[in-house]
Structure 1
């Protein structure tokens, strides 16, 4: 057996040298069948030839053996690379020795049926991978041919975004995402920058202010002189940084494959010893031990099936290694705005002045905002609906500056908007609301003022709305032993307030995007394994730094592109389900290992104690592979 092993390893070296000369000659022909389907067809044909050869035509046996040799050639090439480049004795090297040894000892049928079974299992893995790849198609890519309007000589002309150059003047309307970096040259607007900076409050912009690509313009109409467009915008610069970063997960292998490689050399030593003591067939019987093939073929199948289970539950796992690593996570870090809180705020308080009641203030604000869809309008209209307030009709409405709206209700002029909007209308803040304004600024909350006939009569206080089940999710995570932390680009007070509401002790406020990644890096240097959950452009570098990255559907496209996992239902309770799936996968892989170890022990013990034959060893091998495949497939079948 040692002689055969030496010949095979020498053959590996020869095959590798020769393959370098011809490896580039056969890459053009397209195939209808996938490689796994083709290999299974060859294995099936080889099996048929070996079975029918002794009965009908003897040369068919040689044809069948040739088919098996063809199937093993890639294994020889990989084995050569492992020996010469990795300088490791891997499972590929060991498998390169199995078929020639089995054929040389005359066990043609046993080899054929065993290889057919192996390629049948690999074909199942390939189909599962193809299904998973199809299901995990990226649905978050923004069209590259977005239509924009450029102002030239007083006329709006239609272009695609890729045609925009520095110096162009771009027209942006309310409800649109700003596609470029630039300076406002005309108009005013209220802009939601939370995807970029993490701020929960709207930012009011006017002529001379700078605006950023990928931020949302909620109200107004502005003309922007383009400074940076396309690949030069801040959001695209962030994406380029991410593309250049080397993901540490790229070097990780699935535990099953790594374990199979580490067991290869002990198998060689054990099989060689058996060859010396019991004969060549006994050594080959040990080489047919099912452990390495079962782990290699079925381990990935378990991962792929759990990816499909996750998808059926509304969890998009784009990188299967996330499920592998998640079991090691001990720290979960949340971004605040958009992750723990929802996009639409809630009406917390209504402050009334003079003789106007709170319900009247809400009634006037609701009437003014009735036809609008931005988050502030939705929050006000939701409160109107809850209080069952009937809204009056309005005669006219107009955005005066982009910071508010002016309508006529009956004979009254009603203004709804920010403090700056009121000041631009020459309206002074009532003394009763001055303290409210100061407090809201300190806490980072928003106030929408309502004025009737040139006098401010009240304000609607808006608070960030915590996502449903967030308190319960945080409580469960703490009970499971995870360290919980909040990292936010928002101000200190609102971040502190939210952390207190959720029972989270550790938080970081007013952090820049690169600081978020550095904070995670510091945690990792302390020995923690971090899962980061974020939804904004400002979270992308932190998502890449963490061992496991999670985002929510509806988040910025760059965040969902970067994250390994996307919770498609947009709810935090799916994070608990994700953790449970990761634990179930871990158990499943351990069971795969168990149903492989027992037959392996049976083969080794049978060979050394009871002189188990090579044919019997191959039968045990096939039974073990069958059990392993069943174990891998059963969770998905159960889910269906």
Structure 2
């Protein structure tokens, strides 16, 4: 079974089914109406506006002439017939089409109730108009059918406008990408449409221009404003070898870059695809509502027929009121708000998530976020920054700390090892000029030896120093042991054959990680660390973060097995990872949460993408899931409550008290109930737009995702 992307109805994937293909993906539709709305939304919106306006214009005089009779009743009824007919069969034609499509699909939908109810009222009134003596009463109910059709059209228009605004938001995201790019061909600069840029092309970006596509800098130094995509409020420095993202803004210098991703593969295009997918997603709760509606419609028709027959043959209230009993049950039971109960809340939840840098790939992930009770975090790159930093410098001779760091950095500048680069970065951060070594030799598995300005510099482990004839004192070994217990890598530095210091490095914990872990535990969620690192290092990090359970020394391919085992214990498990080595585990988890920014954003296998590297957004995602599902439940209640509560009344429960004449005013009660349920659902969903996750209130505004003015407008409109 496929899902109609417009109305959400389930459709069998038959060869003769109504279908349409976009970018290689097939979509199935329950009706040609939904197909038209999907393929030409702007055209359908214009048509719906025109039909709704005409329906309102015709309904107003119908209501006036019904209650304020200027002309004799016979003439008045014919005028009402003339006004009501285009409403019934032109404005209401979509409901007949929907009913016919449902019949062909051997299913039923809300259009069935609307078509049957309004047709019954219209046909009864038409018979009375032409044959006034056929029934004991000359009253007609053209206004009932007209009001119902007009109210529902207004509801459809509001829903379609909401979807159109969301589509407009996606278009504005597309507008962030520049239309033209300057590529270099045969040494000459040439301006071409961005669609003609191919992978591997060399392009130029001048100061103040938007970068046309994702690429790698080959020449130039500049800072780039990436806030529109990554949410990073401070411009990021770029130089040769740096990755740049399409649609971000080059601030200062001229850059030359080679295109690495174009078209649908760029970060911006992938974000747009995720936003669209989240907007059209359907939660399991909505599927349940669809399933209920499948049986609800025939049940209502059965109740309507039964009540009409019972009152006619047993109650003896006559054909007129028996027919009105049928019409009243059909109309009053129509929960038109059911169709927007879940999508309205999902759209608001997804929009609120995007505003805070959380992209939900579908409604089912929003609902799953509410159920999670165990969260498994990858360590490297998720809980930690993913690159080592110098944490401790201990001097063992008269060489000062700055000089020790300077000479160590000079020696390490000839190495490509991540630990060596951490020493170089530390020196540069402290303003030390790092020259290149005059000689360099890597000692495999032990360290390195370098020469600079007459000095011999050695950096390595205990064995390397021992092999070079240096004795590592017990106090030094003890200090290194303490550092290693803390999960740090301690290396010895000797200068001119004399042991001069210890430099310790570690992958440091991300900012706000402890805050996020504490918040998860307060929510009653168990937190587990999963890592391929050694147990000592993993436990050192876990202690800092307050994580009680650690699963260490796990290979990437084994992470999926760990998640599967946790799920087999009856847990609802979320996996938080960086989306590369963690992809299988993210896919295996009940809810995969990919954390990261930049060019990795589209590689993620998870159901939720966190654009920023802020672990507090994991907490916000769970809070949004709980809040959105709460709104869906409330919406479903209101969608049914007004209408189903009045079914017994429509079936005749009050006839013994008020007499059969109650059917004269009951259709208006039905129309009011329908309007109130729709207003309740929409209003309740809009309240979600005012909700702010607990950590969002603690973040400075410039740390929020999409601080760029254009993107703020996008999500304001989407809300």
TM range (shorter): 0.5 to 0.7
- 1:119-518 to structure 2, matched below 5 A, reads 119-127=156-164, 129-130=166-167, 252=284, 254=286, 256-261=289-294, 263-276=296-309, 277=311, 279-289=322-332, 292-365=335-408, 380=423, 391=432, 393=433, 396-397=436-437, 400=440, 411-413=453-455, 431-432=472-473, 445-447=488-490, 450-453=493-496, 457-518=500-561
- How far apart are 1:40 and its partner, in Å? 4.2
Counterpart selection for 1:41 from 22, 26, 50: 50
Distance 1:121 1:390 in 2: 60
1:182-220 alpha-carbon deviations (Å, 9 max, x no partner): xxxxxxxxxxxxxxxxxxxxxxxxxxxxxxxxxxxxxxx
Structure-2 residue corresponding to 1:534: 577
Structure-1 residue corresponding to 2:242: none
1:362-388 alpha-carbon deviations (Å, 9 max, x no partner): 3434567799999757855776699xx
- How far apart are 1:44 and its partner, in Å? 3.1
Moved more, 319-328 or 332-341: 319-328
* CA shift in 2, pair 1:30/1:623, >3 Å: closer
Structure-1 residue corresponding to 2:255: none
Counterpart selection for 1:116 from 124, 128, 153: 153
Distance 1:250 1:516 in 2: 29
Give the secondary structure class of the aligned counterpart of 1:293: coil
Do 1:325 and 1:548's aligned partners in 2 also have CA atoms closer than 8 Å?
yes
Do 2:487 and 2:540's aligned partners in 1 also have CA atoms closer than 8 Å?
no
Distance 1:316 1:579 in 2: 12
Distance 2:163 2:346 in 1: 12
1:266-322 alpha-carbon deviations (Å, 9 max, x no partner): 433433333333623333333334773213213211110121112222322232321
| Root-mean-square deviation over aligned CA pairs | 5.1
Matched, 1:67 2:120: no
Distance 1:137 1:523 in 2: 41
Moved more, 441-450 or 586-595: 441-450
Matched, 1:565 2:618: no
Structure-2 residue corresponding to 1:190: none
* CA shift in 2, pair 1:376/1:514, >3 Å: closer
Distance 1:516 1:365 in 2: 37
Give the secondary structure class of the aligned counterpart of 2:571: coil
Do 1:291 and 1:596's aligned partners in 2 also have CA atoms closer than 8 Å?
no
Give the secondary structure class of the aligned counterpart of 1:458: strand
Do 1:534 and 1:559's aligned partners in 2 also have CA atoms closer than 8 Å?
no
Do 1:335 and 1:486's aligned partners in 2 also have CA atoms closer than 8 Å?
yes
Q: Structure 2 unaligned segments of length 5 or more: list them.
A: 1-14, 20-29, 66-75, 126-141, 178-182, 185-197, 202-214, 217-260, 262-280, 312-320, 655-661, 693-715
Give the secondary structure class of the aligned counterpart of 1:350: strand
Distance 1:320 1:136 in 2: 21
- How far apart are 1:442 and its partner, in Å? 8.7
Matched, 1:97 2:120: no
Distance 1:513 1:256 in 2: 40
Do 2:377 and 2:528's aligned partners in 1 also have CA atoms closer than 8 Å?
yes
Distance 1:563 1:588 in 2: 24
- How far apart are 1:628 and its partner, in Å? 1.7
1:608-633 alpha-carbon deviations (Å, 9 max, x no partner): 34445223311221122122211112
- How far apart are 1:574 and its partner, in Å? 1.8
Give the secondary structure class of the aligned counterpart of 1:304: helix
1:29-68 alpha-carbon deviations (Å, 9 max, x no partner): 9747154553343333344356569999976643333323
Normalised by the size of structure 2, how large is the TM-score?
0.60
* CA shift in 2, pair 1:495/1:593, >3 Å: same
* CA shift in 2, pair 1:289/1:532, >3 Å: farther
Distance 2:520 2:438 in 1: 48
Structure-1 residue corresponding to 2:685: 632
Distance 2:382 2:97 in 1: 47
Q: Structure 1 unaligned segments of length 5 or more: list them.
A: 1-15, 141-145, 148-158, 163-175, 178-229, 231-248
Distance 1:450 1:320 in 2: 56
Distance 1:291 1:329 in 2: 35
Distance 1:30 1:17 in 2: 19
- How far apart are 1:495 and its partner, in Å? 2.0
Distance 1:330 1:293 in 2: 35
- How far apart are 1:390 and its partner, in Å? 5.9
Distance 1:298 1:75 in 2: 20
